[in-house]
Amino acid sequence: MAKKIPELNTSSMADISFLLLTFFLLTSSIDTDSGLLRKLPPLPTKDQENIKVKERNVLPILINAYDKLMVKGKIMEVKDLRKTVKEFFLNPYNDPNLPEKTEVNLPYIGKFMKSKGIISLKNDRGTSYEMYIKVSNEITAAINELRDELSMKVFNKHFKDLVDEKQIKAISDAYPMAISEAEPEDVGGTKK
Residue type, 77: E
Contact 113, 103 (CB under 8 A): yes
pLDDT band at 4 (very low <50, low <70, confident <90, very high): confident
pLDDT band at 192 (very low <50, low <70, confident <90, very high): very low
**Confidence (pLDDT) at 188:** 54
**Confidence (pLDDT) at 169:** 93
**Confidence (pLDDT) at 20:** 87
Task: Report how far apart the first and last C-alpha atoms of the chain are (Å, whole number).
Answer: 72
State how far Cα 170 lies from the chain centre. 21
Indicate the CATH number for domain 55-143.
Answer: 3.30.420
**Confidence (pLDDT) at 158:** 94
* Number of other CB atoms surrounding residue 55 within 10 Å: 8
Residue 150 has, within 13 A of its CA and on its CB side, a CA count of 27
Q: Which one has a higher pLDDT value, 188 or 60?
A: 60
Q: Is the pLDDT of residue 24 over 90?
A: no
Q: Which one has a higher pLDDT value, 79 or 180?
A: 79
State how far Cα 20 lies from the chain centre. 39
pLDDT band at 25 (very low <50, low <70, confident <90, very high): confident
Residue type, 167: Q
> For residues 180 and 50, what is the distance between their CA atoms, to the nearest angstrom?
14
Q: Which residues contact 152 (CB under 8 A, 6 or more apart)?
A: 158
Q: Is the pLDDT of residue 151 over 90?
A: yes
Q: Which one has a higher pLDDT value, 75 or 35?
A: 75
The whole-chain average pLDDT of the chain stands at 85
Q: Is the pLDDT of residue 129 over 50?
A: yes
* Mean pLDDT value of segment 75-96: 93
User: Percent of the chain, pLDDT > 90?
Assistant: 52
**Confidence (pLDDT) at 1:** 65
pLDDT band at 71 (very low <50, low <70, confident <90, very high): very high
**Confidence (pLDDT) at 166:** 92
pLDDT band at 191 (very low <50, low <70, confident <90, very high): very low
Secondary structure, 3-state, the chain: CCCCCCCCCCCCHHHHHHHHHHHHHHHCCCCCCCCCCCCCCCCCCCCCCCCCCCHHHEEEEEECCCCCEEECCEEECHHHHHHHHHHHHHCCCCCCCCCCEEEEEECCCEEEEEECCEEEEEEECCCCHHHHHHHHHHHHHHHHHHHHHHHHHHHCCCHHHCCCHHHHHHHHHHCCCCEEECCCECCCCCCC
**Confidence (pLDDT) at 36:** 56
